[in-house]
A and B are shown apart, each in its own frame.
Chain A
Amino acid sequence: MRLRVLVFAAFALVAGGTAAAAGPPSAADLEAELVCPVCETTLDQSNAPIAQRMKAFIRVRIAAGDSEQEIKDALVDEFGPAVLATPPKSGFGLLAWLLPLAALAVGAIAVGLLIRSWSRRRAPSDDGQPLDPQLERLVDDELARFDG
């Protein structure tokens, strides 16, 4: 019974999420993801005349039923790709997404190699040779004296 409730709840969550994703785009989200071509800040931070006009354009297109991508594509057609606050995840723009990840990976590898090199250098030298019997006897005597 409990399992059924859990499965139903999970289904309801997934269905709700899908319905929200399929809903109309949010003007506030779009304004945070698009850049004013004159002042070069995001639209939600700008009151420049062209930013106001772009905000009005976004609202009209949302009311007309356009998707987020369609609205962005229309603005890129007018103002070029620099109107997007984040670079596109394709073509040359993909580099902006991949380079930080690549830099992170290279850094992690470098740090790993450095740690490995340091730990090897600091490890006690163990050449696998048995201790000299005379020295071993001396150590035993000293230890016995210490314990006694």
Chain B
Amino acid sequence: MARRAKLVAQGVAVGLVVLLFILLAWTLLTNEGGDLAAAAARGERPQAPDFTLERLDREGELTLSSLRGKAVVLNVWASWCIPCKDEAPFLEQVWQQNQDRGVVVVGLDAKDFRSDARRFMKSFGLTFPIVYDGPGDTLGGYGVTGFPETFVLDREGNVVEVFAGAVNAKEDRVRLRAAIERALSS
């Protein structure tokens, strides 16, 4: 009886260790965040993680991959983020000036109240598509560590350039426009 109990206990212990190992391996294999900015800075064009999220600018959802064929300026923001307020008018300007050229500006509001986000959109007169990710589940895949961050994607959904922080300085705005041209020409 004691021998059988010992065998069962050993089996349970080995099973637990195997389970923990599988969990560790799964976490390591699925963690692809944080590398997009570094890869883009090396001149590579990593694929942007796809998502389907609820829209705040209108009813329904938006899937990122449905925008293939267009250059995408993906801006991660939140209504409580002060630098996001500073860059919002510029992003609206980029959208107004480039939407006819095959450029889509997409706002990704995360870790925020929907009502606050809608108030923000209204106060800054934002007219580009805006999606909502309250829990911030998509941020890990993009390696977002703060707000705001902006990703410029080419027509195939690959990351051309990443901007950590607000696109406010003149040189950042020049860099963003240049990144859009690169994204369009791919």
Contact = CB atoms under 8 A, between A and B. Distances in A.
Interface of A: 37-38, 49-50, 53, 57, 77-80, 82-83, 106, 110, 113, 116-117, 120
Nearest to B81: A49
B151 to A, nearest CB: 20
A117 B113 contact: no
B114 interface: yes
A79 B134 contact: yes
Nearest to B4: A113
Interface string B131-149: 0001111000000000000
B5 interface: yes
A106 B2 contact: no
A53 B80 contact: yes
Contact of B113 (A53, A80, A116): A53
Contacts of B116: 53
A110 B112 contact: no
Contact of A38 (B6, B111, B114): B111
B38 interface: no
Given A78-B114, A80-B137, A117-B5, 12 more contacts: A37-B111, A37-B135, A49-B81, A50-B78, A78-B134, A79-B111, A79-B135, A82-B135, A106-B12, A113-B2, A113-B6, A116-B2
A57 B111 CA distance: 14
A120 B5 CA distance: 15
B174 interface: no
B80 A49 contact: yes
B9 interface: yes
A77 B135 CA distance: 9
A55 to B, nearest CB: 12
Nearest to A57: B113
B24 to A, nearest CB: 18
A120 B1 CA distance: 12
Contacts of B112: 50
Nearest to A48: B80
Contacts of A53: 80, 113, 116
B185 to A, nearest CB: 37
Given A57-B113, A106-B12, A80 B2 contact: no
Contacts of A80: 134-135, 137
A99 to B, nearest CB: 11
B5 A110 contact: yes
A61 to B, nearest CB: 12
Contact of B80 (A50, A78, A116, A117): A50
Nearest to A36: B111
Q: Which of A53, A83, A120 is the most central at the interface, judged by chain B CB atoms within 10 Å of its CB?
A: A53
Contacts of B78: 50
A116 B113 CA distance: 58
B137 to A, nearest CB: 7
Interface in B1-19: 1-2, 5-6, 9, 12
